[in-house]
Chain A
Amino acid sequence: MTLATHFTKPLSHQAPKGSSGLGLRLSGLGKSFGNRRVLQGIDLDIRAGEFVAIVGRSGCGKSTLLRLVADIETPSEGEFQQALPTRLTAGSTAGLAAGASAKKAEKRIMFQESRLLPWRRVIDNVALGLPLGQREKALEVLAQVGLADRANDWPAKLSGGQRQRVALARALVHQPDLLLLDEPLGALDALTRIEMHSLIESLWLSRGFTALLVTHDVHEAVVLADRVILIEEGQIGLDVAIDLPRPRSTADARLAQIEKQILDRVLGQPEALAPAATSHSANESNWLHTSAQGLRWAI
């Protein structure tokens, strides 16, 4: 795996909001555990500031993909490159490679379980890994997720949804360029999920980080993401752009249609979208034409 500070080819697209997000290029990425090949030949370009959702049946390798990007696992084959956000590269005119190597892109992951430290109060959980004396910053982010009044409680006193909000605050306090979400809402009830959707969306809109969401809930993916990627048996099966205005209404017919099409494909219905076995090279050209409207077949 090589981590280049910028892509070999210049990024053809700026993020829609001129954001500080991290661009990602995965080429031929694969991961095996022993003899079991979990992921293979993943080619994927993610623009800075894009919200990408990865869906698939359980065990399809979607979480592994996220963990590869999060540097928790190392790829068995292939590589991924990161394009540093303009926030970090701007100013170092002398040369990206030299200047940017000192600066590190911030990547933060949010897990399915909150993984709060039960022996630290909420505020100290949010401040985890921050330099000392940055409690105000932590408190500020905690207020953004609406839990400022619970700062001095133990995590055990919070509900599941509140814990995930604290976990979100803990991830955001580092001002990540890339936020990785590993089924963070999987264990929450339906109402709390809807609240969390709008919270995540509003924070993403205001901060402009790149977001990569792994979920088994196609509806959630369609509501939140700019682009939904379906992983089937370790490979990319579908790549669908969702070009609907935000905030999205769940009653939107177009949303429901896209959701149904993806679900049919997941469930292997005959009328589902055409199999994605055409060619991987098509991915390259799609990178350059991400402005396509509505559904977009990437592979």
Chain B
Amino acid sequence: MNHSLQQELQGLSQLESHLAEVFHPNPSRTPSLTARFLLTAKPVLVSTGRTLLPWLLPLLMLVFWQFSAVQGWLSARILPAPSAVVEAAWRLTLSGELWRHVSVSAGRALLGLAVGGGLGLLLGLLTGSVRWAETLLDSTVQMVRNIPALALIPLVILWFGIEESSKLFLISVSVFFPIYINTFHGIRNVDPGLIEMGRSYGLSSWALYRQIILPGALSSILVGLRFSLGLMWVILIVAESISAQEGIGYMTMNAREFLQTDVVLVGILLYALLGKLADVFSKGLERYCLRWHPAYA
């Protein structure tokens, strides 16, 4: 009897120590299942945390904004709720209005870029490659460059009225200069050693231009394009605010008159989105065209 009690006590103390181990695991022994899970999951958690963390603050702000609007702290006239903005965007998409305005605005911007950027590229190539063209043209271009494009608005309205051509002119003028200057410098900064090598390897002038000078100037030309794209949207916004019958600018100015703040916000967000899109595009172009460059590889 005594013996069996002893056995029982022994068994209890064994159980106790086993339980103690479960609840207070000994760190010197192999890690428990949870610890092992935490160890392997840690890098994954850190990396997802790093990608999610930058979005935390915008998300909180959005939540707070929505909350304030719902609580009535913000009047819909000052700042409608995010949900109302999304709703307005959806409404405009369904009616086809959104697409029409976006396509008109983007068409204006791209046409202006094609005209102004194309001329800037051609003139930059000319003054960069031909010495007398630089002497003849460059100082004039540099003088005109100092006039802010927006300062021309009154004159442009007098010349072209308030129709499409005035908007096109403003955008073209403003995107011309970044592309011109960067093309010119790009051509001038092509490694003279490479040009000398090309000549002594018997490349014709055209082959030299196409195979050495243009690729050598390309990174600089693309920098000019990126500057121009940024400027293009700014000028577009201003030009569309002057007067327009179509376009994102028209949509927002019109909404302002009817106190549709949600539509105004949709317009602003659209500009931001288009700007971002242009940036992504130019970055992608750089990454493709300059893939030989260690900085882009």
Contacts and interface: CB of A to CB of B under 8 A. Distances in A.
A119 B292 contact: yes
B4 interface: no
Interface in A110-144: 111, 113, 115, 117-121, 128-129
A111 B201 contact: no
A111 B191 CA distance: 14
A115 B193 contact: yes
Nearest to A113: B193
A72 B215 contact: no
A129 B212 contact: no
B293 interface: yes
A72 B199 CA distance: 8
Interface string B184-199: 0000000101101111
Contact of B293 (A71, A118, A121, A170): A118
A72 B196 CA distance: 8
Contacts, number: 52
Tell me the dominant secondary structure on chain B's binding face: helix
A156 B199 CA distance: 22
Contacts of B212: 117
B292 A129 contact: no
B294 interface: yes
Contacts of A118: 292-293
B120 to A, nearest CB: 22
A255 interface: no
Contacts of A119: 215-216, 218, 290, 292-293
B206 to A, nearest CB: 13
A129 B202 contact: yes
Number of chain B interface residues as a range = 20 to 34
A59 B216 CA distance: 30
B41 interface: no
B200 A70 contact: yes
Contacts of A156: 292-294, 297
Given A117-B211, A119-B292, A128 B193 contact: no
A117 B201 contact: no
| Of listed B197, B201, B202, B215, residue having the most chain A CB within 10 A | B197
B86 interface: no
Contact of A117 (B196, B202, B215, B293): B215
A129 B212 CA distance: 12
Interface in B278-297: 290-294, 297
B203 A129 contact: yes
A154 interface: yes
B293 to A, nearest CB: 7
A126 to B, nearest CB: 11
A109 to B, nearest CB: 5
Contacts of B191: 115
A105 B294 CA distance: 38
A104 to B, nearest CB: 9
A113 B192 CA distance: 12
| Of listed A72, A118, A154, A174, residue having the most chain B CB within 10 A | A118
B219 to A, nearest CB: 9
Contacts of B292: 118-121, 154-156
Nearest to B201: A129
A70 B196 CA distance: 11
A121 B198 CA distance: 16
A128 B215 CA distance: 14
Given A72-B196, A117-B212, A154 B201 contact: no
A117 B210 CA distance: 12
18 contacts: A71-B200, A72-B196, A72-B200, A109-B200, A111-B193, A115-B191, A115-B196, A117-B194, A117-B215, A118-B292, A119-B218, A120-B211, A121-B292, A128-B201, A129-B201, A156-B292, A156-B297, A174-B201
Given A117-B212, A118-B293, A128-B201, 9 more contacts: A72-B196, A72-B199, A111-B193, A115-B191, A119-B218, A119-B292, A120-B211, A128-B203, A129-B201
